[in-house]
Chain A
């Protein structure tokens, strides 16, 4: 057994850390919190200049051929820093799907633009009437010669205001069984009939409601077979749950540890000497270590040639539930001062606990709710019968 990620990963981690120290400025961080947008074009361009939009990709597709363990170390650093990577994240996820199941023409036309930073791609799965039950999508796509006409609504289309395409799940055959009448498209967003309405969330992050009225998409932008969208989604949902976990928790714990070593109680005793404070910090440290390890295991299973479905679900479930628990616990630990908000000058450690408390409830939902993950673990992992 060997828990180190290896020398190459350590070296790449150090490079990533240095890059983030230099490029991810306080101004960017401030802007991200003010606007709620976790995409930043300056940051995006700096990544491209460094050749780091997709370092894990093969060189012939514009990557650096980094192995999955190097990529994990890289992703852990970006998570730990809280870098604005939502735009690059969804763009790469879709680009990855195209690389696996797209046509040769799509690979030629889309991938270089995605990796060159010319386009941003966002996700269009969730709808007002369907979230975790993603196959219940009702947005219609109807064929019209070489084109398709899209009508419907999508929710949580985060970064749509910055994006060029939405990777969209549509219903092409309402007569077919639920999972057999779906098709995925790369829908150009900068065209008439697309309406983007901002939606603000509990932690101040901006997402969108998007409306599609007679929006046109060329058949060449169809990903996968007609009515074969569910097969494409299976690849996509697994990718969404893989990757590093627990960045928010790690940052919050670091903030709480700083507080414990600098603050004193009413009698002037350092808070770091209070057994109750130490116990709360220790529990969070254990959970964060496990979130990291579960995510690393997912990558390791992947490198070892396996398909980490259940492992990815466990990593996502554990990290998001841990953040929910810890953030509430740390608000309690700080006493009444714990509710002083992020952005409030008198708050403790920039309101890290308050911010995480707000943010956490998104994490237990996106990418499939905790209940979905538990069902996957129970049925595919433990072999329990379907209800």
Chain B
């Protein structure tokens, strides 16, 4: 057992931490709020190869481990990156897994930087893909409709949606513009695995968001005085932060274990990804809520950064759905495993 990132992984974390500090300061996050997308940040991320990391060599990438991708996603969440890192990586991995001419063509243009390809988490309803992550800025959306995996170019057929988390989501009409990538059980299972990837990366991002929220709250309550003492000396405040910090550290261990299991214990990978996502959603929500509340009235002001975290901690994971949905998904995996083990 070794719970520290390896030397190489620590270099990766340091490099991305520096990149995000420069390209995703809270000033930059605020400047990108209207569109939810920061093209400068996305360009830098693409330049350093976040998509190549996500797919194997045979698909034109470097095949980094899920642990590596998770560590990068932690930094993404910590700095509230206004860029489609998670959905673009999940989509690229899906395309690589599906293979075939159509999917390979889309992946090639994604890796070349010609097309921003994203993933729809839910099937279409009445011909519309609702709240597609980064759907407002993507060039292509991969989606599952029944047992058919397809890709659609959303330009000219999308409605940008203003959301709690100021994300570049859009409702996308499919009409007759979709290109089929795969069909049948393979299509279903490929999309399902893409959901595992998305949930795991989102869980990691939520860890970063939750940790930073705790730090901001702790910094504030050490300084702020009330009744002649720092408010952090009151148990009512200190204990709320202690609970939230414990949950966030737990969510980090769980997300990192889930990422590790993708390589080391694949029978549990899907279950752990869903558990990490569900628990991470709750922990990040609790951490950002506590932290915002302990800022008192200042926390309610747009000027203070904690509100940026509070809104995204709820909105980012809600693109999939509430934590209970993912808990149920994980429990079904567990029961399946018990059944097949006899």
Chain A residues with a Cβ under 8 A of chain B? 1-6, 69, 257, 260-261, 272, 275, 277-283, 285-287, 289-290, 293-294, 296-297, 300, 303, 314, 317-318, 371, 373-375, 377-379, 381-387
Contact = CB atoms under 8 A, between A and B. Distances in A.
Contacts of A6: 1
Contacts of A379: 238
Interface string B217-260: 01001100000011011110011011101110111011011001
22 contacts: A2-B260, A2-B264, A257-B338, A281-B327, A282-B330, A283-B278, A283-B324, A289-B254, A290-B279, A293-B254, A294-B249, A314-B250, A317-B242, A318-B246, A318-B247, A371-B235, A375-B235, A375-B239, A378-B232, A384-B238, A387-B229, A387-B234
Contacts of A282: 274-275, 278, 324, 326-331, 334
Contacts of A374: 235, 238-239, 242-243
Given A3-B1, A294-B249, A314-B246, A289 B338 contact: no
B58 interface: no
B275 A289 contact: yes
A382 B218 contact: yes
Contacts of B339: 261
Given A281-B331, A293-B257, A378 B275 contact: no
Nearest to B238: A378
Given A282-B274, A377-B245, A378-B241, A384 B331 contact: no
Contacts of A260: 335
Q: Which secondary structure dominates chain A's binding surface?
A: helix
Residue picked from A277, A286, A383, most chain B C-beta under 10 Å = A286
A283 B319 CA distance: 20
A378 B290 CA distance: 14
A347 to B, nearest CB: 22
A123 to B, nearest CB: 26
Interface of B: 1-6, 9, 67, 214, 218, 221-222, 229-230, 232-235, 238-239, 241-243, 245-247, 249-251, 253-254, 256-257, 260-261, 264, 271-272, 274-276, 278-279, 323-332, 334-335, 338-339
A69 B2 CA distance: 11
A282 B338 CA distance: 14
B256 A3 contact: yes
Given A1-B9, A374-B242, 4 more contacts: A3-B1, A282-B334, A294-B250, A318-B247
A335 B257 CA distance: 34
Contacts of A382: 214, 218, 238, 241-242, 245
A108 B234 CA distance: 48
Contacts of B233: 384-387
Contact of A293 (B232, B253, B271): B253
B299 to A, nearest CB: 17
Nearest to A258: B338
Residue picked from B249, B261, B271, B326, most chain A C-beta under 10 Å = B249
B327 A279 contact: yes
Given A293-B253, A371-B235, A384-B241, A285 B260 contact: no
A81 to B, nearest CB: 18
Contacts of B272: 289
A384 B257 contact: no
Residue picked from B5, B245, B246, B279, most chain A C-beta under 10 Å = B246
Contacts of A286: 254, 275-276, 278-279, 327, 330
Given A286-B275, A293-B257, A387-B234, A275 B335 contact: no
A342 B153 CA distance: 60
B81 to A, nearest CB: 22
Task: Kindly list the 5 A-B residue pairs having the minimum CB-CB distance in the complex, ordered from nearest.
Answer: A282-B327, A278-B328, A378-B238, A290-B250, A282-B331
Given A3-B260, A285-B331, A293-B257, A378 B67 contact: no
A377 B248 CA distance: 13
A308 to B, nearest CB: 12
Contacts of B5: 1
Given A300-B1, A375-B239, A1 B260 contact: yes
Contacts of B221: 384
Nearest to A68: B1
A271 B272 CA distance: 22
Given A290-B251, A314-B249, A3 B257 contact: yes
